[in-house]
């Protein structure tokens, strides 16, 4: 038995990479899991892998940029698995581009997912916890280059930096309802080509010194750390 048994966890971007690793790490600890993402097939695969650990799991197609769909997802997960006790904001979008060449649509796409999506999910889950009279935790996955800077990631770094700042602000505003908010960062944990390229730049520039363990870590390591947060 662990402290996670029966405590429902919601995970955005749960179809692949870190999102799937988070889901499996929690399922191994007896946590019912609700994963969401924009593509049906990978999130259903994640849910099936979680069920193989003997826990209930729900897969839902959700675009976190849509606050109404986020509200519906949280309600759906609550009805199926019980009130949420944990949220992991893992959904992200990124591509490499020089700031001077970024289009307004490209800027908005990343901001809407990483920053606005995190806000929509966090506030919806916090309200659900409050209505159920339970406490819980919210974990935001962010990038180390939010502080160090990194070439061609102005849109992503801005989103991550603002998300980090809002982590502290939400701790202050939600503390009466016992929804603790934390953040975890890893310079080389995501599988996209953009993130792999960013990781190489981090190594070459020495910005890995900003990482707590002074080295890049993979999905499994980060998910184990986060599941204890």
Q: Which sequence positions are flagged as catalytic? A: 145
Contacts of 141 by beta carbon, 8 Å cutoff, 6+ apart: 18, 88, 89, 90, 92, 183, 184, 185, 186, 226
Q: Residues 32, 57: contact at Cβ < 8 Å?
A: yes
Q: Residues 196, 182: contact at Cβ < 8 Å?
A: no
3-state secondary structure of 52: coil
| CA pair distance 69, 89, nearest whole angstrom | 15
| CA pair distance 125, 62, nearest whole angstrom | 15
């Amino acid at each position: 038995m662990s402290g996670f048994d029966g405590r429902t966890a919601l995970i955005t971007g749960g179809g692949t990479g870190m999102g799937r690793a988070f889901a499996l790490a929690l399922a191994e600890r007896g946590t019912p899991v609700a994963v969401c993402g924009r593509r049906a097939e990978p999130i259903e695969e994640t849910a099936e892998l979680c069920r193989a650990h003997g826990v209930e799991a729900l897969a839902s197609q959700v675009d976190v940029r849509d606050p109404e769909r986020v509200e519906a997802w949280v309600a759906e997960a609550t009805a199926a698995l019980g009130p949420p006790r944990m949220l992991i904001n893992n959904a992200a979008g990124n591509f490499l581009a020089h700031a001077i060449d970024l289009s307004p649509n490209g800027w908005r796409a990343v901001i809407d997912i990483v920053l606005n999506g995190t806000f929509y999910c966090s506030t919806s889950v916090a309200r659900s916890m409050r209505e159920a009279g339970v406490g819980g935790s919210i974990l935001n996955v962010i990038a180390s280059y939010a502080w160090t800077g990194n070439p061609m990631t102005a849109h992503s770094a801005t989103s991550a930096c603002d998300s980090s700042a809002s982590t502290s602000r939400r701790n202050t505003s939600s503390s009466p309802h016992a929804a603790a908010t934390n953040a975890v960062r890893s310079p080389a944990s995501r599988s996209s080509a953009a993130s792999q390229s960013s990781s190489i730049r981090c190594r070459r520039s020495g910005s890995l010194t900003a990482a707590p363990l002074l080295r890049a870590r993979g999905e499994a390591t980060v998910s184990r750390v986060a599941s204890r947060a």
